[in-house]
Amino acid sequence: MSNVEIADSPAVRRLADWDHAQLRELAEEYGTPLYVTDLDRVGANYRRFAAAFPDAHVMYAAKAHTGQSVLRALLAAGADIECAAWGELQRAIDAGADPNTLQYTAVNPPAHDLDYAVDLASDAPGLTITIGATDTLDRLAERGYDGRIAIRINPGIGTGHHEKVATGNDAKFGIPYEQVPEVADRVRDEFDLVGLHSHAGSGVLTDDLPDHCRAIERVGEMARRVGGLEFVDIGGGFGVPYREDEPPLDLEQTARMVRDAVGDIDAQLTLEPGRYIVADAGLILTRVNTIKPTPTATVVGVDASLATLIRPAMFGSYHPVRNVTAPDREPIPATVGGPVCTSADVFTTDRPIARPERRDILAIGNAGSYGYELASQFHSQPRPAEVALESGDERVVRRRETLDDVTRVEQ
């Protein structure tokens, strides 16, 4: 990637940077709520990240957004794919990924997942299975698997934007640190040990880097103890600024700190960004349907809900909200919520927004990662459509569900 390309790809895209006229047109043509994904931005984010780590192997963590259009855009940009479930493996292959390049990071994998992965590996011996429990090794051996294994380490240090994503000190994830050498010996006896893996947490910004790098240091130390590895995978977790006043992650500083933390290893450094690649490439368009002044708040009702975007309800996450119909109106403190019957169905509380009126279009930003992936059909709400933007064109990449889609599996 040239310096010109890097300069043309700013480190963060704010809601104000989107073409508001285009967003209004998309809402009118395709209806709301509507997911919008800018594939050009997806590719630019990947290339910027890869340029900061020129000697590393950069894989995309599919769980952030498994849409076919996103996966194809990243494969075209040169990314490999890391998958956390059998469905993600299949979707990556459907998008054109070579199964030999895939990495399957299993967390308490169901029997069907292991069956699928082992069957896939029989024709694609380059597939790597990452294990986080010796029990998974037993189950793989029972299935006759003796191929490529990476061991997921629990470094005992968690980082990130919320305790629910600080996986590095959660017993659910990875082999306890001091047990890794013993497990490595067993893997070498029965399988093909190719790497170590760790993931300390998600949403890491500059202030989180020291803790994040302490976890990475432990991974580097273990890599030197175990030795003879093809790669050392330190996961992803690199964040984007959701709040308007938060600065973006300094990738050059991050890359220096990561390299120093890993230290001297005789193996390929691997990273798995997900959120960093797709978060600011996506947003949600939602239409205002209700304005309700009350003694305590002006409640702005919209047609999106926690079924559309659950992160505020699940994590207390902040997402920027902007009135793209009339961004220059005088702002008022607004509480924006959807039609779901719970107090958790709120996107903002008393936040200054250009005074909304009924039928205005609001944009909810940074919805490209863990947005549609966590969407549901709660209240029998069909999931929204998704429109992709690429090279000046637009196309529907996910049609809007109907009630028939919601009820089709019932008997």
Same domain assignment for residues 252 and 235? yes
Residue of 4, 111, 171, 341 with catalytic role = 341
Say whether pLDDT at 70 is over 70.
yes
In a domain, 29, yes or no: no
* 140 and 180 fall within a common domain: yes
In a domain, 359, yes or no: yes
Concerning whether 341 is annotated as a catalytic residue, the answer is: yes
Q: How many domains is the chain built from? A: 2
| The model's pTM | 0.93
Domain end point (choices 218, 238, 273): 273
246 and 325 belong to one structural domain: no
Residues 178 and 260 in one domain: yes
The model's pLDDT over 9-47, given as tens digits with 9 standing for 90+, comes to 789 999 999 999 999 999 999 999 999 999 999 999 999
61, part of any domain: no
Question: In this structure, is residue 266 part of a structural domain?
Answer: yes
What pLDDT does residue 170 have?
A: 61
Does one domain contain both 266 and 336? no
In a domain, 55, yes or no: no
Average pLDDT over residues 81-93: 97
- Assess whether 251 and 288 both reside in one domain: no
Within-domain flag for 343? yes
Q: Is residue 180 part of a domain?
A: yes
Domain residue limits at 137: 98-273
- Reported as a pLDDT band with limits 50, 70 and 90, residue 167 is very low
Residue 169 in this model has a pLDDT that exceeds 80 = no
Torsion of CA 221, 55, 204, 310, to 10 degrees: -120
Residue 390: give its domain's CATH number.
2.40.37.10
pLDDT surpassing 60 at residue 163: no
